[in-house]
Amino acid sequence: MDLSIFLQQLVNGTSLGSMYALIAIGYTMVYGVLRLINFAHGDIMMVGAFVTYFVYQTSGSFTLAVLAGILASVLVGVLTDKIAYKPLRDAPKISLLITAIGISFFLENLFNVLFGGVPRAFKAPEMLTKVLHWGSIYLPVTVIIIPIVTVTILIAVLWVLYRTKYGMAIRALAFDIPTVKLMGVNADTIIALVFALGSALAAVGGVFYAVSYPSIDPLMGVIVGLKAFAAAVLGGIGSVTGAVLGGFILGFTEIMVVAVFPELGGYKDAFAFFFLILVLLFRPTGIMGEDLERSRF
């Protein structure tokens, strides 16, 4: 592989990794506070992509469409918590997990019934579909924009977590919910905030996915969601920086393996899960993880 191809794949990997990272943050934050793998998270991303698609079609404004998509995901995420998870706060964790799987099936099938299962072409604004080229390197604008937006969002998330009192409450909640209540904090509000943040990031990830591929369907969240989950575990579930690291590692590996062994292209989805199995076998706590009983924001 010559240098130009390597560089091109490097950028592609960063872009794909960004998408995984954005979605993985939601998995890791919800796990951090509730010890729940929110299996509906990938579908919340799908909701964001669909709403963005429809609003863009009707209004013609991409900015408005993305904002609407984010808002829709936030609503669905927060409502899911309120309706499905909140009544189970004191129930065994397995009940919560089964409920999450139920919500996932519900959202997938609801969108299937409402909009059909046929993939829809996602036409992004021209500004995002341009392809730049220097010599033999061809780069779609998106692969440059996506990492920049992701890093900006990541900095914002870390700022919220480490520089605001709400972020402080989220970190405290990850260790000790009853004591957070003793501080006069409504724990449910903080948990809702976690769902809102995670869902907003998932929506952005969903839009990136839709623009890059460029199509959407009601099951688009399944594989991407599972891979982002693998990324979160790889990075150390409960750790935000770990989730981002895991996302990038997964994105790079996937792109590079296909670039180096094109004949394995059909297996690219399998790598994420191969990684997941390796991590679970040899370092169950992930890269940034130290203790499975605690999460580390």
Binding other proteins by CB under 8 A: which of 94, 114, 118, 182?
Answer: 182
x/- string (CB under 8 A) for other proteins, residues 53-92? ----------------------------------------
Q: Contact 279/235 with Cβ under 8 angstroms?
A: no
Under the binding rule (CB under 8 A), the answer on residue 181 touching other proteins is: yes
Task: Write out the binding residues for other proteins, residues 160-179 only, by CB under 8 A.
Answer: 165, 168-169, 171-172, 174-176, 178-179
Distance between first and last Cα of the chain: 39
**CA 242 centroid distance within chain:** 13
Rounded distance, CA 242 to CA 32, Å? 12
Binding other proteins by CB under 8 A: which of 68, 107, 180, 216?
Answer: 180
Under the binding rule (CB under 8 A), the answer on residue 185 touching other proteins is: yes
In sequence order, what are the beta bridge partners of 139? 132
Binding other proteins by CB under 8 A: which of 83, 110, 183, 264?
Answer: 183
In sequence order, what are the beta bridge partners of 120? 216
Q: Contact 29/170 with Cβ under 8 angstroms?
A: yes
Rounded distance, CA 96 to CA 84, Å? 8
Under the binding rule (CB under 8 A), the answer on residue 290 touching other proteins is: no
Under the binding rule (CB under 8 A), the answer on residue 152 touching other proteins is: no
Under the binding rule (CB under 8 A), the answer on residue 33 touching other proteins is: no
Tokens of 125: 């604004």
Size of the site for other proteins (CB under 8 A): 21
Fill in the amino acid letter for 132. Answer: L
Residues that bind other proteins (CB under 8 A): 165, 168-169, 171-172, 174-176, 178-187, 294, 296-297
